[in-house]
Amino acid sequence: MLLQGIERLRISDRVVLAVERNRKKSGAHNQRFGDLAELCRMLGLGLMTVTMFKTKPPRVEMLCEPGEPPLRGARPARKARLLNEFRERSGDYNVGGSAKRKLVTVYRERALRCAWALAAYGPLSPSQVAAHIDYPKTGPMLRNNYYGWFERIGRGLYRLRPAGEAALKEYADVLSEWLATKTKEESSDERQTRRSRP
């Protein structure tokens, strides 16, 4: 019905959708008329409900008029978090319909890079890991150990646990793309350094 309403907006700027309201108040759609009305406001549509009775005329309730502004304001903090999440990702690794592995978030990407550094160079301090992966906030990530990949073996010294080794294999595609980008950036920096030498 929403698609039909949007299509009608091509020929009129005042389109109202009419939905029958169940008197029993059962069913998911009956519990979410507020959300539906807000969605219609965002689309520029109106929404009314019609309750049918056997012995008296139907009752019509106008939930929103065409062109009404959304009632719920923008959420700048949430928007900023989402934009930062997508900006910081190195790629889109979350294929629709895949449920075999956990979603790849920015946090998981950074944890994987920490795991890669520990696998490649052995036990390291947070500052050493940070130098290898170019991310300064590795200390809290290693200490919190959210995924259970890291193990503290001494004061300021961490190593990779078997769970971390398994994660490196499971997310090998994510790491390979990051390593390819890292290699290109390092090669570019090296060429620039050579050119700047007298």
48 with 132, same domain?
Answer: no
Chain Cα centroid distance, residue 165: 25
Cα-based distances in Å from 187 to 5, 88, 181, 192, 198: 55, 22, 10, 9, 19
What tens digit of pLDDT does each residue of 5-50 get?
888 888 888 999 998 887 665 554 555 888 888 889 889 999 999 8
Report the alpha-carbon distance of residue 68 to residue 141 in Å, rounded. Answer: 46
Please give the structure tokens belonging to residue 130: 């940070």
Number of domains in the chain: 2
Sign of CA dihedral 175, 178, 184, 188: negative
Q: Residue range 46-74: average pLDDT?
A: 86
Is residue 84 pLDDT above 70, yes or no?
A: no
Residue 69 belongs to some domain of the structure: no
60 with 143, same domain?
Answer: no
Residue 24 belongs to some domain of the structure: yes
120 with 192, same domain?
Answer: yes
Is residue 90 pLDDT above 80, yes or no?
A: no
What tens digit of pLDDT does each residue of 138-189 get?
999 999 999 999 999 999 899 999 999 999 999 998 888 888 877 776 666 5
Q: Residue 149's domain is classified under what CATH number?
A: 1.10.10.10
pLDDT band, very low/low/confident/very high, at 94 (cuts 50, 70, 90) = low
| Percent with pLDDT over 70 in the chain | 74
pLDDT band, very low/low/confident/very high, at 191 (cuts 50, 70, 90) = low
Residue 75 belongs to some domain of the structure: no
Q: Domain residues for 150?
A: 100-196
134 Cβ contact list (under 8 Å, min separation 6): 182
**Residue 53 DSSP SS3:** coil
Report the alpha-carbon distance of residue 135 to residue 151 in Å, rounded. Answer: 19
126 with 179, same domain?
Answer: yes
- Answer yes or no: pTM beyond 0.85: no
Q: What is the pLDDT of residue 28?
A: 46
Last residue of a domain, one of 64, 80, 112: 64
